[in-house]
């Protein structure tokens, strides 16, 4: 089969690989759609724990073409999306239903071959039926699942005024989730005009271009700040600035992935005096079914987040676009 292979950090090729062989508890999926994600870039760059050589791709969907003898609830022909996280179910985190911190966590496309290939072998425990969804929507189940996990951390109350930095695919998934959770207003900030236009189309109340007057513009909207401020940029400077816009007693969600070595300055006095709450969120945790329901019921417009669909052998152009995010939203490798 044809596959994208990361041979070592900084090195990838598109080449023939042996077809995967399934174990009794696995299915063979003919991959139809596979999303390119910032994490793939981190794995490629070598600043994310991964096992090489690796077929990357952790956001994918496809059709089952073979099922192992122990597979009980799926059959050949089923359309499925993959939750990439594999848990040991034995460690203390797994026993506390906090499997996203499983000390033996493994993920398709990170430690085990993933979805940038014609075929992928995946455990039954990791697949979800996506009847009623397109394959492209199926490829967005994972990022939507991560978004749902994040929104569950910070919690949206009815009537909250929410400020989101970043109008990329993740920012707009989070925005739509906040809208569904009863936020009164949604304000989205980004550098790129076209991305803000999409935010507006998908329900943003205010869209604001990040420029020199940003602080003034945001203060004029909510002089006493927003109940919830979310970073979907992964820029340390942006994360640091969130404290300027959060309302007293407000919540801040760190969703974007900042460089591991980045540091920001915050005022402990402010956190104390203003009763600020800071939330992290990592990966997803049993949120795939909810993500599928939200996409199927059109509560989340997933297709609108896709700017490019490319064949597998154009993976290099997809990767190039990912390095310069201004010109693209979600890129899907389609087969």
Residues interacting with Zn ion, by CB under 5 A?
Answer: 37, 39, 87-88, 91, 94, 102
Cα–Cα dist 329/110, whole Å: 22
How far is it, in rounded angstroms, from Cα 44 to Cα 228?
Answer: 33
At 329, give phi and psi (nearest 5°).
Answer: -105, -130
Chain-centroid distance, C-alpha 14: 24
Element (H, E) at 218: helix 214-221
State the nearest-atom distance from the C-beta of 104 to Zn ion, in Å: 5
As measured in angstroms, the least distance from the Cβ of 89 to Zn ion is 6
Q: What are phi and psi of 295, to 5 degrees?
A: -75, -45
Nearest residue (CB) to Zn ion, 121 versus 141: 141
- Contact (Cβ atoms closer than 8 angstroms) between residue 58 and residue 50: no
Whether 260 contacts 285, CB under 8 Å: no
What is the β-pairing status of strands 127-129 and 161-165? unpaired
Least separation in angstroms between residue 193's CB and Zn ion is: 25
Nearer to Zn ion, 113 or 187 (CB): 113
Considering beta carbons, is residue 94 or 133 the nearer one to Zn ion? 94
In angstroms, rounded to a whole number, what is the distance separating the alpha carbons of residues 53 and 55?
A: 7
Cis status, amide bond into 79, omega within 30 of 0: no
Nearer to Zn ion, 55 or 210 (CB): 55
**What's the rounded Cα separation, in Å, for the pair 135 and 60?**
8
| Of 102 and 204, CB closest to Zn ion | 102
Beta carbon nearer to Zn ion, 110 or 294: 110
Min dist CB 125 to Zn ion, Å, is 13
129 φ, ψ (degrees, to nearest 5): -70, 135
Nearest distance from C-beta of residue 55 to Zn ion, angstroms: 15
Q: Which residue has the tokens 């997809």?
A: 318
Reported in sequence order, the residue ranges of the chain that DSSP labels E, i.e. its strands, are: 2-8, 11-16, 26-36, 60-67, 79-82, 85-86, 106-107, 119-123, 127-129, 161-165, 185-190, 206-209, 226-231, 246-254, 277-280, 306-310, 330-334
At closest approach, how far in Å is the CB of 37 from Zn ion?
A: 3
Nearer to Zn ion, 87 or 243 (CB): 87
Q: How far is the CB of 161 from Zn ion (least distance, A)?
A: 28
Decide whether 34 or 39 has the Cβ nearer to Zn ion: 39
The residue (of 91 and 271) whose beta carbon lies closer to Zn ion is 91
Give one word for 286, left, alpha or beta, with left for phi > 0 and alpha for psi -120 to 50.
left
């Amino acid at each position: 089969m044809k596959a994208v292979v990361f041979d070592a950090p900084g090195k990838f090729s598109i080449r023939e690989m042996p077809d995967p062989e399934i174990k009794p508890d696995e299915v063979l999926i003919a991959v139809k759609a596979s999303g390119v994600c910032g994490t793939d870039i981190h794995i490629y760059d070598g600043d994310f724990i991964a096992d090489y050589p690796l077929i990357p791709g952790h956001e994918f969907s496809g059709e089952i073409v073979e099922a192992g003898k122990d597979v009980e609830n799926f059959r050949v022909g089923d359309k499925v999306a993959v939750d990439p996280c594999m848990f040991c179910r034995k460690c203390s985190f797994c026993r506390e239903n906090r499997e996203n911190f499983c000390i033996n966590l493994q993920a398709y496309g990170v430690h085990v071959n993933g979805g940038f290939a014609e075929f992928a072998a995946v455990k039954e425990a990791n697949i979800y039926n996506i009847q009623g969804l397109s394959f492209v929507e199926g490829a967005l189940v994972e990022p939507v699942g991560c978004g749902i996990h994040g929104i569950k951390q910070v919690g949206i109350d009815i009537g909250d005024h929410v400020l989101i930095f970043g109008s990329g695919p993740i920012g707009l998934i989070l925005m739509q989730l906040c809208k569904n959770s009863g936020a009164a207003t949604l304000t989205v900030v980004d550098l790129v005009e076209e991305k803000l236009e999409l935010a507006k189309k998908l329900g943003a109340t205010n869209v604001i271009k990040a420029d020199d007057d940003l602080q003034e513009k945001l203060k004029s909207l909510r002089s006493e700040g927003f109940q919830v401020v979310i970073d979907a940029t992964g820029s340390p400077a942006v994360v640091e600035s969130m404290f300027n816009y959060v309302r007293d007693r407000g919540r801040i969600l760190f969703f974007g992935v900042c460089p591991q070595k980045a540091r920001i300055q915050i005022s402990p006095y402010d956190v104390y005096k203003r009763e600020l709450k800071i939330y992290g969120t990592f990966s997803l945790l049993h949120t795939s079914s909810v993500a599928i329901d939200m996409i199927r019921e059109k509560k989340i417009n997933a297709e609108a987040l896709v700017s490019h669909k490319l064949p597998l052998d154009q993976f290099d152009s997809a990767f190039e676009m990912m390095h310069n995010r201004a010109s693209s939203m979600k890129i899907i490798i389609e087969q």
